[in-house]
Structure 1
Amino acid sequence: MCQYLTYMASSVRGMTPFRIDIPQADLDDLRERLARTRWTRQLPGDGWTRGVPVEHLRELAAYWGEAFDWRAQEARLNTYPQFVTEIDGLDVHFLHVRSPRPDPLPLVLTHGWPNSFVEFVDMIGPLTAHGFDVVVPSVPGFGFSAPPREAGFTVARVGRMWAELMRRLGYDRYGVQGGDLGAYIAPEVAVADPSHVAGVYVIGGLGFPTESDRDDLDEGERAMLDALLNADWTHGVDHHGLLRAAPQTFAYGWHDSPAAALAWMLQKFHDFNTAGEPLDKVLDRDALLTNLSLYWFTDTFGTSSWPMYDSKVSAWPQGQKAVPTGVFSGPPGIRRLAERHNTIVHWPQTNTARHHFVAMESPTVMAADMAEFFAKVR
């Protein structure tokens, strides 16, 4: 990990500032590999019915290798103060951006999979304007955070690590947020540190009905369950099953072939797109490629899969009752089901998100809703 960082002078409390500095040789190697891609033929079928269409992938691969400006993205990321600190035996990378407003509420944001701290870059400005100090750690095994050294790593362990991070930063009271993988981790921070966590804000996942709930659902709720079970995004590539079975096997291809890595990332971001229009109309292409490049340069396609390979089955997050919860969700989430395991104080009916990664698609909308929730609990 450290070969990609230019370290500056040590900071207090064991935290070391750094800047991202990918070697030029790695950039040249990426471009050469993309130029030498051995393209496969297009299989029969319309659109995305067999996976990422060849012509679509070739066009984006050409852009990644010839026009995408990693150095510009790297410089942009380096405008945010970044640090690394050792917690529980692992180096943890994080952004720490302070609000200019008086009496800010600290807020720790946890990204999803297959995403990274890049998920929140466009939301940092709106959040600091709303009066939040923003802390964005990279989950162990993702980006510049060290990977777990043994099997059995858990979201509860990450929750305890985040609580320790906020303690080291000197914060006595703070909020936590998470979506996707973060929706499992954020509640664990509250479980680990309830006396200091003001509230937990979760993007989706809570209150999703399952077949075991069917007999207790009314007609409208059963319709939502059926819609969930039949939705395109629930029938994409089963990354949980794939990575639970053989993450090491697939990591060879993702690490060796940027075209394979690009296809994998496109498949998942396409599966997570609920807009009914092309992905590049919903999420910024350079943001997608910045996230992908981070995975490529840090060799974290395999190490980021620990939430899947250390699980036995897939299940929606449950949350917690230690502190109040706010949910940015729409159908199929059902508030009364979420309230079985959470004290819900915020459940807006105005979520118009068109992509699973809301912070990338609608950063200002999400920041405003988060400000509304945390104003209730701080």
Structure 2
Amino acid sequence: MSAVPIPFRHEVPQSELDDLRDRLARTRWPEPQTVDDWSQGVPLDYLREIAEYWRTGYDWRATERRLAELSQFLIEIDGIRVHYIHVRSPHPDALPLLVTHGWPGSITDLLDLVEPLTNPADPADAFHLVLPSLPGYGYSDKPSTPGWNVERIAEAWAKLMADLGYGRYGAHGTDWGSFVTAALGTADPAHLVGIQIAMPFASAPSEPVELSQRDLDGLAALKEFQKHEGGYSAIQATRPQTIGYALTDSPAGQLAWALEKYWAWSDHDGDLDKAIPRDRVLDAVSVNWFARTAASSARIYWESHNAMRFDPVRVPAGCSTYPKDGRMPKPWCERRFTDLREWIDHEEGGHFPALEDPQRLSEELRAFFRPLR
């Protein structure tokens, strides 16, 4: 039996906004870093600047109005309520497209995709969009029992699309969304016309394969990432509850924890605002703060980070890689994604394509799914 979606709209109480501003004003700041770069984390002066802007300049109500303009719902799947945005294209023959966000973001990371995908210049390229919040993120329920790993989320997404009456659909994702989308390709091949993901991952093949210099550079970058950037994932994969106490209590801590990743993983020349406007970063940080999801959003690392399954994906697949993102060798991915239709090595860009260049991503999605409709 299909679950019945419940219309959803949320307005943060003014008391919560006042509390956020009060906490930011009373932040206990540490001493500055002892280096003149980001190697020890977010520099103090920069964090204080963004925190002060969050307190006095950022307009959460504007983002709230932006969300309220879109149709939002809650639906019960596998014992939890999943929050999602559902935007039907004005073009009735549009292809349904499920898009999944990642960490440290939320569905707010995807909002700039709505108009170009649902109402493109050519109606033949239109999509009906379904944008769910991952369990433990945003306004989806926080699971109260373990087991919500990538594969279980993929099964829930398949149920969501079936409950919405979509017998054929495509899927796209980044970060954890790419892992969920790949798992969905394994879990629901009968209904998926194809998947397109950024940051594809696969295990090393048992037999030797020839790697290009770009493949080798990507593996070297992943090794450097684990050495210099992987502290957050080690903590969240082992002690998500402990870090959750600190981030849930301190908005400056929540901001620093996320801001470091938006800065480190996007493609810019030292000025994050050139890649991602600070209001868009604060959209995601604010959702996480008001929804108190620091611990619950981290648990996907505890569930899946050290238990990755790279099962074969046989539906048509497209993969995009970016120089400031994790890059796996194409020959490895070809063995996992057995019907790889498209592989794009971008010369610029980072981990947040829907924020850094939503127009380019929209064009890429339209082009990939065009022959699969």
Tell me the TM-score normalized by structure 2.
0.91
Which residue identity is paired with 2:90? Answer: P
Q: Take 1:219 and 1:329, find their aligned partners in 2: how far apart are those partners?
A: 15
Offset at 1:234? 6.5
Question: Cα distance 1:376–1:334, how it changes in 2: closer, same or farther (>3 A)?
Answer: farther
Q: Match for residue 224 of structure 1?
A: 217
Q: Match for residue 367 of structure 1?
A: 362
After TM superposition, the structure 1 stretch with the greater mean CA deviation from structure 2, 306-315 or 80-89, is 306-315
Q: Take 1:107 and 1:284, find their aligned partners in 2: how far apart are those partners?
A: 26
- The reply on whether 1:105 has 2:105 as its aligned counterpart is no
Find 1:161's aligned residue among 153, 156, 159: 156
1:350-361 pair list within 5 angstroms: 351-361=346-356
Secondary structure (helix, strand or coil) at the match of 1:19 reads coil
Q: Take 2:197 and 2:311, find their aligned partners in 1: how far apart are those partners?
A: 9
Segments of 5+ residues of structure 1 without an aligned counterpart are 1-11
Q: CA RMSD in A?
A: 2.3
Q: Match for residue 294 of structure 1?
A: 287
- The reply on whether 1:324 has 2:316 as its aligned counterpart is yes
Q: Take 2:212 and 2:180, find their aligned partners in 1: how far apart are those partners?
A: 33
Find 2:58's aligned residue among 68, 71, 78: 68
Question: Cα distance 1:160–1:330, how it changes in 2: closer, same or farther (>3 A)?
Answer: same
Q: Take 2:91 and 2:213, find their aligned partners in 1: how far apart are those partners?
A: 44
User: Is the contact made by 2:102 and 2:175 (CA closer than 8 Å) also made in structure 1?
Assistant: yes
- The reply on whether 1:198 has 2:193 as its aligned counterpart is yes
Question: Cα distance 1:122–1:96, how it changes in 2: closer, same or farther (>3 A)?
Answer: same
Q: Match for residue 250 of structure 2?
A: 257
Secondary structure (helix, strand or coil) at the match of 1:201 reads strand
Q: Match for residue 177 of structure 1?
A: 172
Segments of 5+ residues of structure 2 without an aligned counterpart are none
Q: Take 1:310 and 1:157, find their aligned partners in 2: how far apart are those partners?
A: 10
Residues 287-330 of structure 1: per-residue CA shift (max 9 Å, x gap): 10011000000010100112211246276x74643311111225
Offset at 1:230? 5.7
Residues 93-129 of structure 1: per-residue CA shift (max 9 Å, x gap): 0000011224100000010111111111001111112
- The reply on whether 1:18 has 2:5 as its aligned counterpart is no
Which residue identity is paired with 2:184? Answer: V
Which residue identity is paired with 1:307? Answer: I
- The reply on whether 1:149 has 2:144 as its aligned counterpart is yes
Question: Cα distance 1:287–1:22, how it changes in 2: closer, same or farther (>3 A)?
Answer: same
Q: Match for residue 38 of structure 1?
A: 28
Which residue identity is paired with 2:296? Answer: T
User: Is the contact made by 2:3 and 2:77 (CA closer than 8 Å) also made in structure 1?
Assistant: no
Q: Take 1:123 and 1:233, find their aligned partners in 2: how far apart are those partners?
A: 31
- The reply on whether 1:83 has 2:83 as its aligned counterpart is no
Secondary structure (helix, strand or coil) at the match of 1:373 reads helix
User: Is the contact made by 1:244 and 1:312 (CA closer than 8 Å) also made in structure 2?
Assistant: yes
Number of residue equivalences: 363
Q: Take 2:11 and 2:266, find their aligned partners in 1: how far apart are those partners?
A: 32
Offset at 1:218? 4.0
After TM superposition, the structure 1 stretch with the greater mean CA deviation from structure 2, 179-188 or 28-37, is 179-188
Which residue identity is paired with 1:174? Answer: Y
Offset at 1:231? 4.8
Q: Match for residue 189 of structure 1?
A: 184
User: Is the contact made by 1:283 and 1:360 (CA closer than 8 Å) also made in structure 2?
Assistant: yes
User: Is the contact made by 1:159 and 1:185 (CA closer than 8 Å) also made in structure 2?
Assistant: yes
Q: Match for residue 133 of structure 2?
A: 138
Question: Cα distance 1:136–1:219, how it changes in 2: closer, same or farther (>3 A)?
Answer: closer
Q: Take 1:248 and 1:122, find their aligned partners in 2: how far apart are those partners?
A: 32
- The reply on whether 1:346 has 2:358 as its aligned counterpart is no
Q: Take 1:32 and 1:47, find their aligned partners in 2: how far apart are those partners?
A: 29
Which residue identity is paired with 2:319? Answer: V
Offset at 1:217? 3.7
Q: Take 1:78 and 1:312, find their aligned partners in 2: how far apart are those partners?
A: 34
Offset at 1:245? 2.1
Find 2:19's aligned residue among 11, 29, 47: 29
Find 1:243's aligned residue among 236, 240, 244: 236
User: Is the contact made by 2:169 and 2:191 (CA closer than 8 Å) also made in structure 1?
Assistant: yes
Secondary structure (helix, strand or coil) at the match of 1:177 reads strand
Secondary structure (helix, strand or coil) at the match of 1:340 reads helix
Offset at 1:77? 1.1
Q: Take 2:126 and 2:305, find their aligned partners in 1: how far apart are those partners?
A: 40
